[in-house]
Amino acid sequence: MRRHWRILCFLMMLSLALVSLVGCGIPMEKSAVASHLTVKMLDVGQGDAILIRTSDETILIDTGDTDEAAKLKAALDKEGVKTIDKLIITHPHRDHLGGSAMVFQNYAVKAVYDNGQPTTPKFYRDYLKTIKVKNIPYKTLRDGDRLDFGGGVSFTILSPTEEMVQEGGREADGKINLNLNSLVGRLAYGNFAMMFTGDAEKPTEQALLKRHPAGDLRCQVLKAGHHGSKTSSGLAFLKAVQPEVALISCGAGNSYRHPHASVRRSYEKQRIDFYRTDVNGTITVESDGQTYRVTPERGVKNSNKGN
């Protein structure tokens, strides 16, 4: 009789253990699938186009150059994009805004955000006209604004301020430089964060550091400002953000010599791995909110090819 009890107890404990194992396993698997973030720095030559997908939304930051619109369309179609929930334009230069006409023509854009910095070229006037004609919700973003990308992913704007836009991106010598007012934003998803910089340059970085404590800027991944130009990625900014990886969007054999050798050296010195679209093609960052993974389309990290 006692032996039977022992067997019965053993079977009961075994079944409890099995139930708890199965009970733990299912929800973990579900949450890993439901909450996922993918950021793709698309290879669109000399320009920026970054596709972000959360479990709820598709977001496009910048649209590459007018001449590279076919490349952008091929990349978006390959990803199966039909709707863009949020189109964000960091600043109205052609290598960021030029592909917007193609985007409006081929995809359902639900909302547009930019820095509200006006400029004169036709592609910019056409862009504003299309937003109006298609009646697309449109909002300008400022330091402190926050967008919800869905799926637990947020995007906090760090620059520009209203005052900066009013000044129109003025350099110390009085020249206008639209790069200075690029939208800078920090994407956060659980323990993962990524800094988006557009073509922000060192004066933008320095002003941003004065307004925001370094603790609010830390990110594992940095989108290199201004295609890896020496105008950007200042040491103080790198030390505040403390990225482990930098992603550089630049065209093969570009005449600007991006990414600049001094920036690559600076990354190496700060132990920041880097990938570049001219060598690595489209670069994919994936995160589950805990860890992250960077996968280049081809090649390896830290290529010092060229320049």
Of residues 241 and 248, the one with the C-beta less far from Zn ion: 248
Closest approach of Cβ 93 to Zn ion, in Å? 5
Stretch that binds Zn ion, among 27-35, 122-130, 154-162, 194-202 (CB under 5 A): 194-202
Q: Which of 28, 39, 296, 26 is nearest to 192 (CA)?
A: 39
Exactly one of 65, 68, 85, 95 binds Zn ion (CB under 5 A); which one?
A: 95
Least distance from Zn ion to the Cβ atom of residue 71, Å: 15
* Binding window for Zn ion (CB under 5 A); candidates: 63-71, 90-98, 128-136, 246-254: 90-98
Closer Cβ to Zn ion, 54 or 100, answer by number:
100
As measured in angstroms, the least distance from the Cβ of 121 to Zn ion is 14
When asked if residue 278 is in the footprint of Zn ion (CB under 5 A), the reply is no
Minimum gap (Å) between residue 45 Cβ and Zn ion: 11
Q: Which CB sits closer to Zn ion, 143 or 199?
A: 199
Q: How far is the CB of 301 from Zn ion (least distance, A)?
A: 22
Residues near Zn ion (CB under 5 A), total: 2
From the list 57-65, 88-96, 229-237, 266-274, the region that binds Zn ion by CB under 5 A is 88-96
Q: Is 199 in the site for Zn ion (CB under 5 A)?
A: yes
- 68 binding Zn ion? (CB under 5 A): no
CB 250 within 8 A of CB 258: yes
Residues of this chain that bind Zn ion (CB under 5 A): 95, 199
